[in-house]
Amino acid sequence: MAMLLKLDGESVRDTRKVASILSPLGVRLEFWPPDRNGGVGALLDRPALSDPEKETVLLRHDAYFEILRTSDGYRSRDLIVLNPQTPGLDGLLSAFLRIHTHDDDEVRYIVDGEGVFGFVLPDRSQVELLVSPGDFVKIPKNTEHWFRLTPGNRIKAVRYFTSTAGWVPVYTGTPLLFAGSSA
Ligand SMILES: [Fe+2]
């Protein structure tokens, strides 16, 4: 379950309280338990996957994709797999550690590992959201945010897209206040 971390060190675990803190941004949080049946659990437990193995994991969770496709017009999905051996990992992570927005929603469903999404709230304060397996996060377009991994440097997440054009970070120049995020 997602846990919110405040700058003063306070952590918020109550799901409704977390949702209420993020609701002014329009951030949507859900909890969908990953399906580990049919050998998928063994795949999720491995740090790296081949493309066919990624597709196996995706197919196992496509019921969620169908819901998003029907309700919100999502058209494609893929599985991002990051681990300490991922080529270019440092560069990839540094690109998303700076506060940015996207022209499209950022939609992620965590099926293994963990990560942290940070947000700039309307009062310009900042919070971080620790996400782990089962957490579904939809960050509306033009929302200031950042992303980092936890020290294990490992995550598997389904990414959902409304277009095949992809998206790039648009840096806003807002300074990051979380000192612990500079790793
Ligand atoms: Fe982003």
pLDDT digits (tens, 9 = 90+) for 19-30: 999 999 999 999
Residue bearing the bigger pLDDT, 19 or 180: 19
Q: Give distance in angstroms: CA of 131 to centre of ligand 1.
A: 14
Q: Give distance in angstroms: CA of 40 to centre of ligand 1.
A: 27
Q: Give distance in angstroms: CA of 98 to centre of ligand 1.
A: 9
For range 159-178, the mean pLDDT: 86
Task: Please give the pLDDT value at position 166.
Answer: 54
Q: Give distance in angstroms: CA of 148 to centre of ligand 1.
A: 10
Handedness of CA 97, 82, 34, 68 (dihedral sign): positive
Distance CA 80, CA 53 (A): 12
The residue count for the chain: 183
Domain spans in the chain, listed from the N-terminal domain onward: 3-163
Distance CA 107, CA 151 (A): 23
Q: Give distance in angstroms: CA of 147 to centre of ligand 1.
A: 7
For residue 148, the surrounding DSSP H or E stretch is: strand 145-149
Distance CA 141, CA 5 (A): 22
Q: Give distance in angstroms: CA of 38 to centre of ligand 1.
A: 32
Task: Please give the pLDDT value at position 163.
Answer: 78
Task: Please give the pLDDT value at position 182.
Answer: 44
Q: Give distance in angstroms: CA of 111 to centre of ligand 1.
A: 18
Q: Give distance in angstroms: CA of 61 to centre of ligand 1.
A: 22
Backbone angles phi, psi at 137, to 5 degrees: -130, 130
Q: Give distance in angstroms: CA of 26 to centre of ligand 1.
A: 15
Q: Give distance in angstroms: CA of 130 to centre of ligand 1.
A: 15
Q: Give distance in angstroms: CA of 142 to centre of ligand 1.
A: 10
For range 154-179, the mean pLDDT: 88
For range 171-181, the mean pLDDT: 86
DSSP state of 151: T
Which SS3 state, helix, strand or coil, does residue 153 take?
Answer: coil
DSSP state of 179: G
Task: Please give the pLDDT value at position 46.
Answer: 97
Q: Order of strands across the sheet with 76-82? A: 28-31, 135-139, 106-113, 155-161, 76-82
pLDDT one-digit tens code per residue, 32-87:
999 999 999 999 999 999 999 999 999 999 999 999 999 988 999 999 999 999 99
Q: How confident is the model at residue 183 (pLDDT cuts 50, 70, 90)?
A: very low
Nearest C-alpha neighbor of 32 from the set 60, 64, 58, 56: 64
The CATH classification number of 3-163 equals 2.60.120.10
Which SS3 state, helix, strand or coil, does residue 178 take?
Answer: coil
Q: Give distance in angstroms: CA of 114 to centre of ligand 1.
A: 16
pLDDT one-digit tens code per residue, 89-140:
999 999 999 999 998 899 999 999 999 999 999 999 999 999 999 999 999 9
> Does the structure show a pLDDT above 80 at 179?
no
Residue 45 identity (one-letter amino acid) = D
pTM: 0.93
Q: Give distance in angstroms: CA of 79 to centre of ligand 1.
A: 16
DSSP state of 103: S
Q: Give distance in angstroms: CA of 138 to centre of ligand 1.
A: 11
